[in-house]
Structure 1
Amino acid sequence: MHQDYADGVEGDLSTRQRVARSILVNGPSTAAALAERLDLTPAAVRRHLDQLLADGAVEARDPRPAGHRGRGRPAKAFALTERGRDGFEAQYDDLATEAIRFLAETAGPDAVRAFAEQRASFIERRFPEVAVAHPDASPAEVLAKVFTDEGYAASVRALPVVGEQLCQQHCPVSHVAHEFPQLCEAETEAIARVLGTHVQRLATIAHGDGVCTTCIPVLQIEKKEQVTS
């Protein structure tokens, strides 16, 4: 049974956040896909999308011509804008940035580095237990599960010959990391340590890219499978 949480302002905001978060996690989505994914009526989804469009939180995109089949005008896909992304993390950005600035001023850059490493420690702490719980997952897939649990909305993209890419659609600390890249550096180094080899961070949301992307070479994937088999 479809549900519409449109009774009252609080219900509207809650459902609108669910719509926005679904786009954040799953990427550009049509109204029909959102309705099915969230178990809402198409009318309810369109109403919330209209408001998100008016707020500048999403934008409507024409679908790729190759993906259109059948008659009629192809449905538009709705994608989150930078303003929409900001809504998920802006609450604590200023406070966190001020706190790290204070740390840098009073204790120096080494303290900021130590803080970044401590924050990234969840990667090495969670990786072994998630790998055991998902024995058929590749190292990149295990990392995606670890990062998703921490709010990064991560997924894996296979690249023939090259290997795999760990893609983070969301970064809860992107605005802070823009000023303090030590946060990104510590994450990348922790990823390399759990895999036992060098990995390459190709893009970061903190530096204006649409997604954080880390390349895991195919040779490392094969090596990791041999070690765990």
Structure 2
Amino acid sequence: MNETGSTRKQIMLMLKTGGPLTVSDMAEQLGVTEMAVRRHLNTLERDGLIGSKLLRQSMGRPTHQYYLTDKSEEHFPKSYHTFTLDLLNDLEQNYGPAIIDQLFKNREKRLTDLYQSEFTSQCLRDRVRALAELQDSKGYMVEWEELEDGSYKLTEFNCPIAQVANKYNQACACEINWFQNLLDAEVERSECKAKGGQNCIYYIRKRKTG
């Protein structure tokens, strides 16, 4: 990591643990000049990671205090998957495995209903592109291609729900089902991260008629 990036991370950590802070507070803790701190703050503010508010003092001129914005939260470690797994495990222990099946069926329907309006194109190619863009925006790191036989290959290089899917395979079945619903096509998964694969790979074909 370069020194500039490291200093910005230190500033964000200071604001996370001790903020809001003034420029002089941060300069003193970091052992750098106030001008150096302001340069980093300008970048963080431009990126929407911090905000400032005017602090009126009993003596002297008002000064600004800096604080982290909601957007900054994505730069700090999270353990949502642990929380989710704990909840699913408690539900399974208390109500049996059928409740887990029902939860993922509910998720499948919710996702289908939520995005159905974005998949109205009569062209399967356009629907596959829309799905790839949707999944990519959710952090799945997606690539797709049209194959010589007119089918499509969609590859997800990342799985944000991998820890959940590793224990609850219903999550994987849920993904295929709502893909099929939105694409109105046949979807087959040839490789799955939750089952030891390097990526999640889907093959998409037009539904057979007749």
- Whether the TM-score (by the shorter chain) exceeds 0.5 is yes
1:158 and 2:157 aligned? no
Separation in structure 2 between the aligned mates of residue 101 and residue 8 of structure 1, nearest angstrom: 40
What is the aligned length? 146
Separation in structure 2 between the aligned mates of residue 116 and residue 90 of structure 1, nearest angstrom: 23
Separation in structure 1 between the aligned mates of residue 120 and residue 12 of structure 2, nearest angstrom: 38
Question: TM-score when scaled to structure 1?
Answer: 0.53
1:207 and 2:195 aligned? yes
What does residue range 149-228 of structure 1 map to in structure 2 within 5 Å? 149-161=137-149, 163-217=151-205, 219-220=206-207
* Contact map agreement 1:144 1:154 (CA 8 A) in 2: yes
Q: Secondary structure at the match of 2:79?
A: helix
Deviations 1:143-174 (A, max 9, x none): 11222233322231222115102221211111
Identical aligned pairs, as a percentage?
18
Letter in 2 for 1:157: E
* Aligned equivalent of 1:102, options 90, 94, 113: 90
1:6 and 2:5 aligned? yes
* Contact map agreement 2:124 2:183 (CA 8 A) in 1: no
* Contact map agreement 1:126 1:146 (CA 8 A) in 2: no
RMSD over aligned Cα atoms: 3.6
Range 114-123 or range 163-172, more displaced:
114-123
- Which structure has greater helix proportion? 1
Unaligned runs of 5+ in 2: 14-75
Deviations 1:210-229 (A, max 9, x none): 21111101x34x98xxxxxx
Question: TM-score when scaled to structure 2?
Answer: 0.57
Unaligned runs of 5+ in 1: 15-87, 224-229
Letter in 2 for 1:96: T
Deviations 1:62-107 (A, max 9, x none): xxxxxxxxxxxxxxxxxxxxxxxxxx99722222212111111111
Question: Against the structure 1 CA distance between its residues 166 and 122, is the aligned structure 2 distance closer, same or farther, given a 3 Å change threshold?
Answer: farther
* Contact map agreement 1:205 1:211 (CA 8 A) in 2: yes
Separation in structure 1 between the aligned mates of residue 92 and residue 202 of structure 2, nearest angstrom: 27
- Where does residue 227 of structure 1 map in the other structure? none
Greater Cα radius of gyration, structure 1 or 2: 2
Separation in structure 2 between the aligned mates of residue 136 and residue 120 of structure 1, nearest angstrom: 20
* Aligned equivalent of 1:131, options 100, 119, 138: 119
Separation in structure 2 between the aligned mates of residue 150 and residue 161 of structure 1, nearest angstrom: 29
Letter in 2 for 1:155: E
* Contact map agreement 2:159 2:193 (CA 8 A) in 1: yes
